[in-house]
Amino acid sequence: MYYSEMKQAVNLLANEWNLGKRESGATGNICAWIYLLNILEESEKIVTYSDGKKLVGFSGYSKNNSKKHLLKKKFYTIIKNKLYKSKDIKDLNELKGYEKNYNFLPKELENYFNGEVSILLVDKNYRGKGIGKKLLFKVFEYAKKR
């Protein structure tokens, strides 16, 4: 995902979800940036949909224990850890608590799947036009090849 797409993805995320901003007393879009880096860190493939230069949706896929994206994962982890130190976050423990609860997966399902759709998000103004379905089909097509 290019930086220009990342900025737009952060805006989509911030407009859609709290992402721990309220709990942590964070300002700006810092929580959305951290969440996007979590997505990029865990996803080996990101599929985007744009209307011209405007990003209107994206989806991600990751296969459990994939070694394909280890270098990207390390890179995004470094950036995310730097963002955790931002002065825009008033209560880091609250943010990390929010993230832990948000990423919960029951123990009995941990080994049930060997891959996952890490996110599917479409701009509110573009919903109902089949964009989410197109994104998922692209992700599933990629997953089948893997």
List the chain pLDDT tens, one digit each, 146 residues: 899 999 999 999 999 999 999 999 999 999 999 999 989 888 888 999 999 999 999 999 887 666 666 777 788 888 989 999 999 999 999 988 887 776 655 666 566 556 778 899 999 999 999 999 999 999 888 887 77
* Residue reference for tokens 């948000």: 102
State which H helix or E strand residue 62 sits in. Answer: strand 54-63
Tokens read off for 39: 């997505």
- Angle 82-84-90 from CA coordinates, rounded to 5°: 140
Sketch out the chain's domains with CATH numbers: 3-145 (3.40.630)
Taking the CA atoms of residue 44, residue 123, residue 31 and residue 48 in that order, the dihedral angle to the nearest 10 degrees is 20
pTM as predicted? 0.77
Predicted confidence at residue 25, as pLDDT, reads 94
